[in-house]
Chains A and B, each alone.
Chain A
């Protein structure tokens, strides 16, 4: 087993690529499963060797891609600790929060587990959990929208420059009301541990959605 720092082999970039690719699939699937968008805009695709639903609406796809393109530098620098997909009702109060907690080791131990196929298996398990999570969640009210929040390790203002990578896609500090939920129900979905990244997904669900 070899021990490397994050700078070696540019592992930060590799991890960011892997995670952003995964997050893109996960966000599409969450939007489909939680019926944030009409099911007609989604098409079945295969990712991680499992069927997933991906939007084929260019504006939505562009929005998700732009968001993750901006998030990538934060993950690369290990500055992002949580990426949260918030589903909000018509009044823009959160009803559900899909929280992806990300932890990256400062020293990377390269072993056979580091094989990307192994990481892919772990990510597949997340996708499968998301695709069945509607069984443990209550229905959302109609007319919901979503937002992607990124929790950073340092003060958000320090990371603003890092995320402003697309000129036409500015970032702002989220409102308090978007972040906090009154006495949420906590539903753990999946945890993975690999040599290059640890990730945990849980859902915070508002007790009274309507």
Chain B
């Protein structure tokens, strides 16, 4: 044992002996409880029957969430999986601009849901993007200062210029159709003409949501109205506060 030095205030002999006693106790080896020995309840033995398992192997799923091999295409012994990637489905609109497909898992899986016979087929050859974001990051150069109303709105609500805001484009803003506006918007974002923006289409709500920094939101809103030829007023909303501005 290494040398232990005690520093104490001089006092009575009783206090010293008590101190020594306490110190000795503290220096005793810490009691260790040996962990209980782990034993299998049902150890594998030669006489045990072999287990059973489903004849079908589980599905093989690619990183994009698509099923690569339908379960029944695999051999029952599971020894030779037949992995056959599905063909890329064709685009709906034939748009040459490749869109960033970032569908939610549910929406992705809808296209790969098996038929009643569990033969893996696509419900439809069409796959539409529901979300788009710019691959490149480029700062939007502010060509014009924000309006007084916009400045006032920011100061009233004490918004952070870097927080995200959302422009909502509804069906009634779109001419001739929301799908066409969505395609145009997709091109704009993909070509970095709306940097810092990402957007998604909420087909069930008949709305397009365009997200951007508060800093750029007025400019983005004006650009959207002009480029997409939107009619009526579009509304800007931020988290918790709701609608804060309109154009």
Contact = CB atoms under 8 A, between A and B. Distances in A.
A75 B219 CA distance: 64
Interface string B36-51: 0010111010001111
Interface of A: 37-38, 40-41, 43, 56-60, 63-64, 66-67, 70, 81-82, 84, 92, 99, 101, 103, 145-152, 154-156, 159-160, 163, 168-176, 178-180, 186, 188, 200, 202
B67 interface: yes
A204 B6 CA distance: 50
Given A38-B63, A101-B42, A188-B38, A60 B58 contact: yes
B42 A82 contact: yes
A149 B59 contact: no
A60 B78 contact: no
A173 B52 contact: yes
B131 to A, nearest CB: 14
Contact of A41 (B40, B49, B61): B61
Contacts of A60: 58-59, 61
Tell which of B42, B48, B51, B106 has the most Cβ of chain A within 10 Å.
B51
Given A147-B78, A151-B48, A179-B44, 13 more contacts: A56-B109, A58-B113, A59-B114, A60-B59, A70-B54, A82-B51, A92-B78, A101-B40, A147-B53, A156-B52, A168-B118, A170-B56, A171-B53
Contacts of A163: 52
Contacts of B58: 60, 63-64, 145-147
Q: Which 8 A-B residue pairings sit nearest by Cβ, starting from the closest?
A: A149-B51, A188-B38, A59-B59, A170-B55, A151-B51, A38-B63, A101-B41, A172-B55
Nearest to A172: B55
Interface residues of B, number: 37
A183 to B, nearest CB: 13
B40 A202 contact: yes
29 contacts: A38-B62, A41-B105, A57-B65, A57-B109, A58-B113, A59-B71, A60-B58, A63-B54, A63-B58, A82-B51, A84-B51, A92-B79, A101-B41, A103-B41, A145-B57, A146-B58, A147-B58, A150-B51, A151-B51, A152-B52, A171-B52, A171-B54, A172-B53, A172-B55, A173-B50, A174-B51, A178-B78, A179-B50, A179-B51
A126 to B, nearest CB: 15
A41 B63 CA distance: 8
A154 B51 CA distance: 10
Nearest to A43: B105
Contacts of B64: 38, 40
Prevailing SS type, chain A contact patch: mixed
A161 to B, nearest CB: 11
Nearest to A160: B52
B180 interface: no
Q: Which of B50, B52, B53, B79 has the most CB of A within 10 A?
A: B52
A154 to B, nearest CB: 7
Contacts of B76: 172
B61 A37 contact: yes
B180 to A, nearest CB: 30
A93 B50 CA distance: 16
B60 interface: yes
B3 interface: no
B112 interface: yes
B52 A63 contact: no
Given A40-B63, A56-B105, A148 B53 contact: yes
A172 B75 CA distance: 12
Contacts of A174: 50-53
Contacts of B62: 38
Contacts of B67: 57, 59
B45 to A, nearest CB: 11
